[in-house]
Structure 1
Amino acid sequence: MSNPSVSIALTGSGGAGVMTAGQMLLTAAARAGCYGLMSRSLGPQIRGGESAALLRLSTAPVDGPDDIFDLLLAFDWGNIDRFAAELPLNENSVVIYDPGQGPVPEVVREPGPRLVQVPLKEIAKGIPGGRENMVGLGLITTLIGLDAASLRQVIEERLGRKGAEAVDTSWQAVEAGAEAATVDGLPRLDQASPAAPGSRWQISGNDAVGLGALRGGVRFVAAYPITPATEILEWMAVNLPKVGGALVQCEDELASVCMALGGSYAGVPSMTATAGPGLALMTEAIGLGVASETPVVIANVMRGGPSTGIPTKSEQSDLNIACYGLHGDAPHIVTAPTSIADCVFTAQWTVYLAEALQCPAILLSDQAMGQAQAVIEKPAEVAFIGRRKVARPADLENYQRYRITADGISPVALPGMPGGQHTADGLEHAPSGTPSTQAAHHQEQLDKRRRKLDRFDYGDHWAIRAGDPEAELALITFGSLTGAARDAVTRCAEAGLPVRLIAPRLLLPVQVERLEAALAGATKLLIVEQNHEAQLRHLLAGHIRLPAVVDSLNRAGPLTIRPGEIVSALTTLAA
């Protein structure tokens, strides 16, 4: 059977402590031996106001949300209509609410969940200094069978600096909440076995991208804060100096990518991080990186678009601009991690690819992955370190920066290397680097820049594959939807419907031969993506031979595509 889990939503207005409670619950679950995922839903104001902490806890790893929430705990109903559609409920769900906060809104009542009143505020008032979110924590942990000692440990760590009184007060509120836990029928996590110390991490997708880039050799970051990518910069600002690196907060996105290119030109693996509006501003300078063959990593955490769009909600709609947004013929790398845990590996691998191929590489994460936190196994150490082909003394005799080579990769002279002087700019050039308008030079440099990407051996890391590799029914997705796709493939297998899953980690250059081999024998294909225009489907159709029958399950954000929807689409396609 597929892994049992419990999905919990905590909602409330600003000041209710929703996010604090959610983070403490996730940490306590991890200490108790569980895995988990916590995402958040915010209103359009980004900071303050109504919010929801959305958790899925399990005794096995989880990479995405389930179909419905088993438990919704509402501290109040403030503006819940703004994200009620993101809180799917049904008749098996339990909604716990404080009757003093007013009647249950119709958007919550309509799906028919079981409604349970618990006077959270009244209980908290009975404890000097008590808070409703701590009462709620005690209620939830008791209902799902989570080890209370783990929660006590988390409270002591989080509140210990405020003194013993703050810890005791919070624990009294937790115990009071536990006494109010009289609801039955919810999934429980009693069977979790404590993990060995240090064997699991609690990390966000944005922090994981930062860690992976650091492991890959990045030592200079230049960036401008933007939702939902800012946490990458915050993590890097603290951790880069520990390894001798530096971060510069720039005045805008144009300066950011140009400074990153400058740091890279000087020989230091460099990156920037942004979201869709910032990526749009960076495209000309990314083209400069292609033409000058200067490696740089651009981590793009996708959000709803176009224009300013929906900054706090997730979408996979930057695929087109990432692949096609540069003017001219500009071969470059586009990657996409398949989970929060995979953000570490994919970011490290992306740095390696950019450096090895001397070109820009765009890493596509998204808000659902970047700002979510997960409990994962400790990421393995891998050997991918960004190293470019640096010129040797023999290469510097009559040095040609853009010398035509069989693999398309030319030795690069770093500033200050005797004999390595050359022109480096965005103009087309001869092999020496001297600007040229000759057709022959333009053709050979275009061929060279394409050849180095096409002939590189990307190994088995180009995609995640799961399910039955011989199944006639295939599923392709990318990014944060991979977790839901995995769940769907597992459910289909349990129902007797074999499905093969392909989730490309390398989106550009499209791996034509590998994709066609992975699809060999498949007669029907479902492509799942979180955007309005089916961008992944069109990317694939432009490069490979697809099966005879192809269907799309695509929807713009902010409502994520859930496993049950994918199962339904696969079942319909198979019929």
Structure 2
Amino acid sequence: MRRRLARRTFAMAASSVSIALTGSGGAGVMTSGRLLLDAAARAGLYGLMTRSLGPQIRGGESAALLRLGNRPIEGPDDVCDLLVAVDWGNIERFSAEIPLGEHSLIIADPAQGPVPAVIARANPRVVSVPLKDLAESVPQGRVNMVALGLAGTLLGLSAAGIEGVLAGLLTRKGEAVMASARAAVAVGVKAAASVTGAPRLDLADVPAGRVKWSISGNDATGLGCLRGGVRFVAAYPITPATEILEWLAVNLPRVGGALVQAEDELASINMILGASFGGVPAMTATSGPGLALMTESLGLGVAAEVPIVVCNVMRGGPSTGIPTKSEQSDLNIALYGLHGDAPHVVTAATSIADCLFTAQWSVGLAEALQVPVIMLTDQAMGQARAVIDAPTDPGLTSQRLTAPAAPDALAYQRYALTPSGVSPMAIPGTPGCAYTADGLEHSPRGTPSTQAAHHQEQLDKRQRKLATHDYGSAWAEVEGEGDTVIVTWGSLTGAARDAAQRLTAAGTPTRLISLRLLAPLQTEALSALVAGKRVLVVEQSHSGQFFGHLRAHGALPADARSLARPGPVPLRPHEIVAAIAAWEKGAANAA
């Protein structure tokens, strides 16, 4: 069952291949990676591209990390099959994110010096290609375009397909740049003939004419919010969430919406609270430091029952942490960071494609329940780009319960104690429906109150509307059957899915459960799925926050185990498989 990383060979075409393009800031490896992903899409393939950057965000070392295949790709594989090093600039800073084995192929320019020890220690096969000299053989030639032609050809993509993606990205730079890029790609295509034994994609069964999208997690989140009905956005830029705002700034006005860049995170959440109070579905996007600043106003949204969505794209923490790397360590603040008893909803996307659905669903939940919703993604998902099947619109719409005009101004009770916990919300200016909306505890009419009875009944009301709502089957993705269960969430879903499939194929039937609704936790439903099973909880945090959350709610068997690691290095499928295998071996030895 244990998979040996160093034993992958390429005697036959592979269903998926992992590639890394590395270089210093300005080397253009991100551009090359994006073009390689687009070329794969033109060939009918699926793909995923993540990026590794230094702490300076712009400039410095960088890597485009791709996995291409003939089936949907949602996470990284165990090992990097092909590494093309434009140069070796500071590669030791992120070498741990590029796992290599003895059958990995390294394309290196001898002019850039010897292969660094952190790369050579895996004993990969190294082939020297004079990338810089080849680029200089072309007027204004760039090394990254040579690398693009070389890598794409080695993978089995056609020269026409590689060249065909240049126009979409480079046309605006002028014909001279386009001509230089084409010539440099052609040089790289020709150079590939001197490299043998390279990983090659299986293109035999790729159907023609398949409609696919190339989209990032942040773009998908923006589209999902727009489809859900959001028409006002206020936010302050922060890595790695800024691209959500950039996408919405262009597309929100097309549907009559507006976006404001606020002066800080606290201002942005207060703006969206005001917009939503006025009847317009609203959202903001941020990351951990920004979410920390928003917690007081999130509590205001809970107390005043104002629907908003906060999309939090997690990065390494605490404090400013690691802005350019991924982690799942904002879970605790999202779940428990509000002071007082403040029930709210926390959702999490399970993939780049699912960012669209989860964002749309989150807007609908906020509107239906009149509550703040925190939607969690992370850097590995938000700033990554994937080639996916064109998603269908699930048709989720926002349905806020609003109050009609009232003949008696004293009769309207904004916070009426309804069986569902949701009471009609008046749009400001509705005749007879004036009320006080602030953070103070209040009576059913909205009058500020310190009475114990009012506090008790409003606490019960706010809790009841979340506890009794029907979330349907969207609360989790549940796949497979078996006595072994992997429970996970967020961007680790892809690796966990790969692991579950490998375990099942090896004779250990394994079920995957990836939670999309983290609060309120669907304890009964989850407990029923894992009762009597061997359960491994997989997450990317140092303290096992997700495991602790499930354990605190009594959703896990007593012998459930945790596999947790902080960022920035993601958990890979073979590590999950190995954890299950070690558990099985221990149980067998004990027997």
Q: TM-score range by the shorter chain?
A: over 0.9
What is the deviation of 1:157? 2.5
Distance in 1 between residues matched to 2:580 and 2:408, nearest whole Å = 58
Which of 461, 464, 478 does residue 465 from structure 1 map onto? 478
Distance in 2 between residues matched to 1:283 and 1:183, nearest whole Å = 56
Matched residue type, 1:21: S
Which of 318, 321, 337 does residue 306 from structure 1 map onto? 318
Distance in 1 between residues matched to 2:317 and 2:219, nearest whole Å = 23
> After superposition, what is the alpha-carbon deviation per residue over 1:295-337, rounded to whole angstroms, capped at 9, x for unaligned?
0000000000000100000000000000000000000000000
What is the deviation of 1:156? 2.5
> After superposition, what is the alpha-carbon deviation per residue over 1:455-501, rounded to whole angstroms, capped at 9, x for unaligned?
00000000001121xx2211100000000000000111111111111
Which of 296, 301, 307 does residue 295 from structure 1 map onto? 307
Distance in 1 between residues matched to 2:408 and 2:312, nearest whole Å = 36
**The residue matched to 1:247 in structure 2 has which SS?**
strand
Which of 323, 328, 352 does residue 335 from structure 2 map onto? 323
1:541 aligns with 2:551: yes
**The residue matched to 2:146 in structure 1 has which SS?**
helix
Which of 376, 382, 388 does residue 364 from structure 1 map onto? 376
What is the deviation of 1:545? 4.0
* Structure 2 alignment gaps of length 5 or more: 4-13, 586-591
Alignment of 1:343-492 (within 5 A): 343-393=355-405, 398-468=411-481, 471-492=482-503
- TM-score, normalised relative to structure 1: 0.97
Contact 1:37/1:63 (<8 A) preserved: yes
Distance in 1 between residues matched to 2:485 and 2:206, nearest whole Å = 35
Question: In the alignment, which residue of structure 2 is the partner of 1:513?
Answer: 524
Matched residue type, 1:571: A
What is the deviation of 1:428? 0.3
Most deviating of 39-48 and 547-556: 547-556
**The residue matched to 1:475 in structure 2 has which SS?**
strand
Matched residue type, 2:41: A
What is the deviation of 1:384? 1.1
> After superposition, what is the alpha-carbon deviation per residue over 1:60-96, rounded to whole angstroms, capped at 9, x for unaligned?
0000000110001000011111101111001010011
Distance in 1 between residues matched to 2:451 and 2:236, nearest whole Å = 38
Contact 1:144/1:190 (<8 A) preserved: no
What is the deviation of 1:392? 2.5
What is the deviation of 1:354? 0.4
Question: In the alignment, which residue of structure 2 is the partner of 1:501?
Answer: 512
Matched residue type, 1:10: L
Matched residue type, 2:375: L
1:214 aligns with 2:223: no
What is the deviation of 1:161? 3.2
**The residue matched to 1:483 in structure 2 has which SS?**
helix
1:273 aligns with 2:288: no
Distance in 2 between residues matched to 1:206 and 1:194, nearest whole Å = 28
**The residue matched to 1:92 in structure 2 has which SS?**
coil
**The residue matched to 2:431 in structure 1 has which SS?**
coil
Distance in 1 between residues matched to 2:168 and 2:250, nearest whole Å = 21
Q: 1:191 to 1:164 in 2, by over 3 A?
A: farther
Distance in 2 between residues matched to 1:241 and 1:545, nearest whole Å = 44
Question: In the alignment, which residue of structure 2 is the partner of 1:239?
Answer: 251
Contact 1:146/1:189 (<8 A) preserved: no
Contact 1:31/1:195 (<8 A) preserved: no
Most deviating of 335-344 and 382-391: 382-391
Q: Give % identity.
A: 63
Matched residue type, 2:521: V
What is the deviation of 1:395? 9.1
Contact 2:216/2:383 (<8 A) preserved: yes
> After superposition, what is the alpha-carbon deviation per residue over 1:281-306, rounded to whole angstroms, capped at 9, x for unaligned?
00000000000000000000000000
* Structure 1 alignment gaps of length 5 or more: none
| Number of equivalent positions | 570
Contact 2:82/2:198 (<8 A) preserved: no
Distance in 2 between residues matched to 1:123 and 1:571, nearest whole Å = 48
Most deviating of 449-458 and 493-502: 493-502
1:17 aligns with 2:28: yes
**The residue matched to 1:8 in structure 2 has which SS?**
strand
**The residue matched to 2:560 in structure 1 has which SS?**
strand
Matched residue type, 1:539: H
Q: 1:347 to 1:150 in 2, by over 3 A?
A: same
What is the deviation of 1:185? 4.1
